[in-house]
Structure 1
Amino acid sequence: MGNIHLLDATVSHLKSLLSLKCGFPVSVFCLRTLKGKEMYDCNTLSDYNLDLGSTVRMDVWDGWKEFLNACVLGHTQNVQRYFSKYEAILRFQQRVALNIAAHFGHLELAEWLQTAGVRADEAVGVHPYREWCSDTDHPDIGKCAVHAAAEKGQLLLIKSFIARNVLCLECRNALGQTPLKICILNGNKDCLLYLAMKMWSVVSFPKVSLTMNIYIKVKKWIYTAQKRVYKARKWAPPFKTRVGDPVVVDGFTEPKMTSRDLHGFYQDKWRSVVQSSRAHSSDAIVNAVLKLHPMTTRQRTSKSSRFPPLNQVVENSVRRKSQSVSESQEIDEIFTNSWNPNIPLPPITSDSRPRHLRTPHAAVLLNSSLESFSKYSGRTPRQNAVYFLSLASEFKEKPWLRQLDMARSLARKSVRNL
């Protein structure tokens, strides 16, 4: 609300005003009408049939809601958590985070980002998906973090930026304004006095003293030479995007700015991945079972009755808790005959324990643990080994040692569950 008439203004001008209010760079959001029609920078508000009192929606990049909320609140750990795993998008997010931190005065977040290599005199730029149109995009994409701090009068942030990089004093935006000029236009007296003092200061070295103006020119020359050496030693492409990366073209491609959160952004992808993994695992199990014997479908149907169902196994395990030793031996034979494992088991000996367990105290502990296992599982250790070895032997495509490892892992998990 105000005394300004914006219906004849462009969408670009409205986005600049919104950027000053909310602190988001103009390359982070887009404007839409309530009907979902995207508003482009070159058009006026009257082109979209907007009138006084109309509502305009601001949408951000998909999957960025949590990241932008963390930047506004200044939570460094959450900002790091929601960074993208792609290098080009990560660099853009770091510049956006530094710009928002400069707007709201989050000193800790700004210090951490500068330590990570983000420069306060570097323009925010555009998203890598829209780098093809960076030359004709909104002019405020050339705004740097030091300009945002100067607009809001964040003196501590300005001191931090200049202490790490003196080039921030002569950093200019798209209109050619330095931080000192921005402070004059916005009436930030404290920041104005500090910047004026720094601009008229002298940098002293052991044998020479330079004014700040000359020192900044020397630093710019050194920085330009370093970039040229870097490009000579390591090939650097002119664009940050590569072949195969998505490209967003206004009005032609699917919109990427719909303000979906991370859950909504990855929901379809997660659903497809889960379905494919489930289908793959079920097909692998079915193929492993069907490869046991080269028989027809009718024979498979008739032979499948040999394997006991899972509910029968559970009922048998409950019934075994009250059975005697003779009944457990019969169950052992039933398991061995029904599952028909092809893995030979070692014979039962009188004392198959290792030597370090043959002491009287160790024997008592071992017998008590075996009794507890038989009591709560419903199977003797030998029956348990037969059961899991028979399960592992169904995977014929795996070598015998791999089947043995699978049986050991299953048996170990069953003991831990008890």
Structure 2
Amino acid sequence: MRVLICFEGSCESFDVPPDRTVGAMKQMVKKHFLVHLSSDKQVRQHLELSFGGAALQDTWALCDVGIRSGSAIRCLIKTEGRPVIHVFNAVTGEILPIMGSEALLHMSVARLKTVVSVQSGLPVSTFRLSTPAGVQLYDCNRLQDYSIQVGTILRLDTWDGWVEFLQACLVGHRLTVQSHLSERRTVMRFQLQVALYIAASSGHLDLAGWLLERGINADEPVGVHPYRQWCQQTAHRDSGKCPIHIAAESSQLLILKLFITKNPLTLACRDPEGRDPLKVAVQRGHRDCVRYLASKLYSVVSLPNMSLPLCIYLQIKRWVSLGQKRAASNRCQLTSVVFKGRVGDKLLVDGFNQPKMFSQSRKSGPKRSKRIKAKALQPLPTNSNLFSVSHLISKRTPSQLPSLQSVNPGEPKETQKKSQQDLKRRKDGLSVEISEEDSSSCGGKFILPPITRESIPRPVFVGGSPKSSHTLTASLQSFSHHTGRTPRENAIYCLTTASTFTEKPWLKQLKIARTLIRKHVHTMA
């Protein structure tokens, strides 16, 4: 077939077989256009072929991604900077690249933690950084003090027992977040504040709505762990950020609407640098958020005897709050900082006791997990004017689910009880699926339905042999063994890959995903 390659204002035709890979096409383009690519320690150049709005990978075949005869492929020379250092995230298992020049090695550890927090979506008070030798990096020092060189892989660790909790927050699974909350009320309150911060950064509406119902405020700083309440004055500056600020930084418009609908006073919330959400959105260049915040700030508030612009009303409320804080500080002149700790609480002193941040998994038996879950479901103090997203989501779900397994009156009570439990689990799975779809609407990722449980009866095919189920199971196990991914994970991977072709209609993207899945199966065979 004949395809057109557009490169630097010129367009040339190439006769290639349909099964030619993208990598082989790049070699043809290099020879035809005499392209010279430079590569050094800091900058690397490479060719990129794009079609349908997506960058083509070297291992793809042209026919697999919908390229036919007469298609036009764009060729560009991409220049990428090499990462100066890497950070291994023990929570997600990913390696975060820190881009820049060698001058980055002279910056402070506090600045590096800010960069890592933006990339990982975790608050700075939930993790620590350490060298490959296990030496902890402190905010007041610089990277050069630890003899860190270009290419060093640092390690990000979180509080012991927090790995599963943070993983659930990053994906927006509300039920899993509930089951991994601490038994101590002070620690649990801090965990809920962290969860709202991550939900605002990732755009998880269901999780954010549930946290607002529990009394967590979007204009309240995340702060530090209760173990470090004694050193708030020397804490990282970004620990004073609020969820409303991170939502403006991340351009999460739906989260911003949720926060402001719940409490309009969040519009006047200031970050450690003295910026309100509107100024944060302006500096980040998020037009939709700026338009929405500006329209809210210049709306009118109706009072009993007058009407005021909302910006003036917020300024008055800010003056009142400052006066209340000053009056409270005058009454408590003996202590400059309000300490929330109690006698007997645990404190951590850097350099003397163990930091309790080694990313160790939570070890708990069945009895403890039940007790933690019951403790987590206790509601915190809430306000009367709450805006619940989960309530809006529940309106779209059917009021009655079709029964997948009938229960006869003559069956034993154990069988009926088991059937009711299975039906309840399926309802929970449906609610989780709906919340995943709503929370991922901003990210553009494909979410498949929950994994089918073994308790749900599978359809019986007429004429099928008794060994057909065993053959299907063996085929799925063989597929997972050869590809390294389960069929579900492979489907998610192919659908996500096909969604990168933004210029193609959705049905075309689905066809590309089916072709990629079929190719993986044929390659394994």
Q: Which amino acid aligns with 2:100?
A: N
Identify the residue that residue 63 of structure 1 maps to in structure 2. 161
- Match of residue 165 from structure 1: 263
Residue 258 of structure 1 aligns with which residue? 358
In structure 2, the residue matched to 1:313 is: none
Percentage of pairs with the same residue? 48
Q: In the superposition, relative to structure 1, how do residues 174 and 87 fare at CA in structure 2: closer, same or farther (>3 Å)?
A: same
Tell me the distance in 1 between the aligned counterparts of 2:180 and 2:194: 13
Cα distance in 1, alignment partners of residues 271 and 315 from structure 2: 18
Pick one of 313, 318, 343 that aligns with 1:215. Answer: 313
Instruction: State the secondary structure of the residue aligned to 2:175.
Output: helix
Distance 1:98 1:61 in 2: 18
2:180 alignment counterpart: 82
Question: How far 1:226 sits from its partner (Å)?
Answer: 9.0
Deviation (angstroms), 1:241: 1.8
Q: Partners in 1 of 2:342 and 2:199 — Cα distance?
A: 29
* Separation in structure 2 between the aligned mates of residue 177 and residue 238 of structure 1, nearest angstrom: 24
SS in 2 for 1:182: helix
**1:233-382 maps to which residues of 2 (within 5 A)?**
238-263=338-363
Q: Is the 8 A contact 1:10 1:44 kept in 2?
A: yes
Query: Greater CA radius of gyration, 1 or 2?
Result: 1
Displacement, 1:187? 0.8
- Specify the alignment match of 2:218 in structure 1: 120
Higher helix share: 1
- SS at 2:273's partner residue? coil
Indicate whether 1:142 and 2:240 are aligned: yes
1:208, 1:147 → 2: CA distance?
31
Asked if 1 retains the 8 angstrom alpha-carbon contact of 2:268 and 2:318, the reply is no
Gaps of 5+ in 2: 1-82, 84-98, 332-336, 369-525
CA contact (8 A) 2:268 2:315 kept: no
Q: Report Cα offsets for 1:95-141 as digits up to 9, x if no partner.
A: 10000000000011111101110110000000000011111111001
Give 1:168 deviation, angstroms: 1.2
Provide the aligned length of Structure 1 versus Structure 2.
Answer: 260
Q: Does residue 1:31 correspond to 2:122, yes or no?
A: no
Deviation at 1:81, TM superposition (A): 1.1
Q: Residue in 2 aligned with 1:22?
A: 120
1:12 aligns with 2:144: no
Match of 1:3 among 97, 100, 109: 100
After superposition, what is the alpha-carbon deviation per residue over 1:297-333, rounded to whole angstroms, capped at 9, x for unaligned? Answer: xxxxxxxxxxxxxxxxxxxxxxxxxxxxxxxxxxxxx
Please provide the CA RMSD for this pair: 2.2
User: What is the match of residue 328 of structure 1?
Assistant: none
Moved over 3 A (4+): 217-229
Question: What's the CA shift for 1:38?
Answer: 0.5
Higher strand share: 2
Is the counterpart of residue 41 in structure 1 residue 139 in structure 2?
yes
Q: C-alpha offsets along residues 166-215 of structure 1, whole Å, 9 cap, x if unaligned?
A: 12111111111111111111110100111111111111245421111232
Letter matched to residue 253 of structure 1: N
For residue 403 of structure 2, what is the aligned residue in structure 1? none
Deviation at 1:224, TM superposition (A): 7.4
Q: Note if contact 1:88-1:241 (Cα within 8 Å) is conserved in structure 2.
A: no
Quote how far apart the aligned CAs of 1:217 are: 3.6
Q: Report the secondary structure of 1:56's partner residue.
A: strand
Structure 2 CA distance for aligned equivalents of residues 9 and 226 of structure 1? 39
Stretches of structure 1 lacking an aligned partner (at least 5 in a row)? 271-418
Residue type at the aligned position of 2:354: E
Change (3 A) 1:225 1:83: farther
Alpha-carbon distance in structure 2 between the residues aligned to 1:3 and 1:209:
51
* 2:252 matched residue in structure 1: 154
Output the CA distance in 2 between the equivalents of 1:170 and 1:116. 22
1:196 equivalent in alignment to 2:279: no
Superposed displacement of residue 46, structure 1: 1.1
CA contact (8 A) 1:124 1:141 kept: yes
Partner SS for 1:175: coil
Q: TM-score, normalised by structure 1?
A: 0.59
Q: How far is 1:87 from its partner?
A: 1.2
Structure 2 CA distance, aligned partners of 1:142 and 1:225? 20
Provide the TM-score with structure 2 as the length reference: 0.47
Contact 1:124 1:143 in 2 (8 A): yes
Q: Is the contact between residue 268 and residue 277 of structure 2 (CA under 8 Å) also seen in structure 1?
A: yes
